[in-house]
Each structure stands twice: as C-alpha cells, then as structure tokens.
Amino acid sequence: MKPKIAILCSGGDVSGMNPALKRFVEYAYARGMEPYFVHHGFEGLIDNLITPAAYSDVAGIITRGGTKIGSSRSKRFMEPAFRSIAAENLKTHGITMLIVLGGDGSFRGMERFYTEHGISFCGIPSTIDNDINGTDYCLGVDTALGVIKEAIDQIRDTASSFRRAFIIETMGRNCGYLALISAITSGAELCLIPEIPIDIHEYTGCFKSQIAKGRDYFIAVVSEALNSTEVAHWFEEELGFESRVSVLGHIQRGGNPSVYDRLMAYKFVTYAIDALSEGKTHSVICYTKSHFTFKTIDEVALHPYRIDEELLSLGREQFLPSHCQM
C-alpha cells in the first residue's frame, strides 16, 4: 500500500507556493507516494477539505503567485477539540505525513498536533517577512524584493520630476529585512527599521546641506513597524519638501514567482519529502549559509529572528546619521 502524504499552506500567501505544490505532486509520485492537497490551511484540515492531487492539478501553475489550494489563519486549530477533528480527517484518508508551508506560528501548531496525534510533518519557511529564526531565506522573499525594487525604481522617476520626498512603506511585521535590503539595493537616501534605532532629526543638518548643493528629491524606505506618516511630516516641516507616502501593501505578496523562488520551492519540497520518507517526524527544513539543514520546532519557533549582522552593518554604514554625506 502506497504511503499517503498531504501538503497545506498556512498564514500569508507567498509567490513560490504554487511551484512548491507542483514539485510536491511530481516528486511524491516519483517516490511512490499518493499526494493529497489540504485546501485553505488548518481550516481545511478541520473541515475535511482534503482531496487527492493529480498532475493535472498543477499543470501551468508554476508561473502563478499565491497558492492554488488556498491558505488561512485558523483560531479553531488552537483548540484541542478541533485538532482532534483534523487528525481524524487525516486518518480517514490514510494520510500519515504532512508538509506545511507557513511561518513559526504554524510550525508551533503542528508540533502540538504531532505530540497529540502522531501525524509526522515537515515545515517549509514561507513568508515574505523573512522573520523565521534558523533560516536565512524563506520562500517568497526573492519575489517580494523584486516587486519592491520595481516600485521604488518607478517612484523615483516621479520623485525626481516633482522635487518631492517619497516615503515607501514595506511589509515585514516587526522585522526590517525587506526594508533594509530594498533601501540598500535601490540607493535610497534613508532607511528606517526597528533593528537600527535612528533619531530622524539627526538627519536635518545633513539633508539641508545636500539640498543646498542641489539634491532635489529623496527616497526613504520605512518598515511597516514604524510610522511612515511621521517621516513625511518631518520632510515637510523640517526640510520644506513636499512629501508622499506610498504604502506598497499586499502587492508585495503577489506576482510571478522569481526564478530563485521557483528553484528554492523545488529544493525545499524535495528535502521535506525525503526527510519524511526517511523517518523524520517533526522538523523544519531551513536554509543557512548556502546549505539545507533540519531544525527542531524549538530552534525555529522559540527564538526571535535576527537579521544577519553583516546586513545590519551595511545598513548602519549607509544610513546612520553620522555617516550622512554633507
């Protein structure tokens, strides 16, 4: 009898989930398994939205953002009674292994689910926030950075034409990764993230000097954890620059998956299926220092994520007021 394996998406969608679903179906069949989809995340587990997956289900989806099988955030899954229903649904289908595309909250839920009901699982970090401890890269990040890059490049055209300051707000929850990488690689004049505390008023003298020497626009990239509106007010009141706030919002989560996200989706799923086939019962596949490693839920979910110190050093070097070029 062939082993049965299922996959679900939990939390925010990312570009890269559909390529992961395609690889999941193809590689599960190659390993002699029966693949299943769980639709709409943990809610689907509870409501028994579990269906066999075929090649036809994943044909052509590699180019699409989002996730064909849907995702959700489930409060019900936090309750033992609903987890029992979810476990019974999986057992009814004969499914003994589960791959979860999600974040640390999803992995904590699966750890409890495994402890209570013995359903083996492997987690794949999937969030554009890139804020999961233990991995340098989460699925979807590369595409999100590409979307932000395009937006900033286009906004710069307008900023330079109208002598304006544009404050561009990126996603990231309480993590400044997206804002930091985007600011560095777009040549922004200012970057504000929680990990590098800055008093924006310390820029006043430097920026006034730059204006006197001919600078006629500014690009500031700000993490959503901070107040973009206050930054816009500062530009107008302190520097006399007309300002606009552009909140990029959910466009960062969508879009045609980048080549890198497609490739990493294939690799993540391959490692996850191999791990479950070889008897790993509850782990997360992480990518650090150009290598894939398996880590426990405690390593991933019980410690806060910290942006790589080398990246923070680049940010301090480029954006601290003391390094501002007069």
Helices of type H across 187-296:
204-212, 228-239, 259-277
- Which of 230, 221, 11 is CA-nearest to residue 100? 11
Please state, in angstroms and rounded to a whole number, the distance separating the CA atoms of residues 158 and 17: 34
131's CB contacts (< 8 A; 6+ apart) are 103, 138, 172, 173, 174, 175, 177, 305
**φ, ψ at 190 (rounded to 5°):** -150, 140
Please state, in angstroms and rounded to a whole number, the distance separating the CA atoms of residues 218 and 243: 9
Q: Which residue has the tokens 């404050």?
A: 167
Name the β-bridge partners of 247.
169
End-to-end CA distance of the chain: 72
Please state, in angstroms and rounded to a whole number, the distance separating the CA atoms of residues 175 and 132: 10
Fill in the amino acid letter for 11. G
- Residue 66 gets which letter from DSSP? S
- Which of 73, 136, 172 is CA-nearest to residue 292? 136
50-52/34-38 β-pairing: antiparallel
- Structural contact between residues 247 and 173, judged by C-beta atoms closer than 8 angstroms: no
Active site includes 129?
yes
Please state, in angstroms and rounded to a whole number, the distance separating the CA atoms of residues 4 and 18: 20
- Structural contact between residues 103 and 9, judged by C-beta atoms closer than 8 angstroms: no
SS3 state of residue 34: strand
Please state, in angstroms and rounded to a whole number, the distance separating the CA atoms of residues 264 and 138: 9
Per annotation, catalytic residue among 13, 104, 129, 131 = 129
So which residues are the catalytic ones?
129
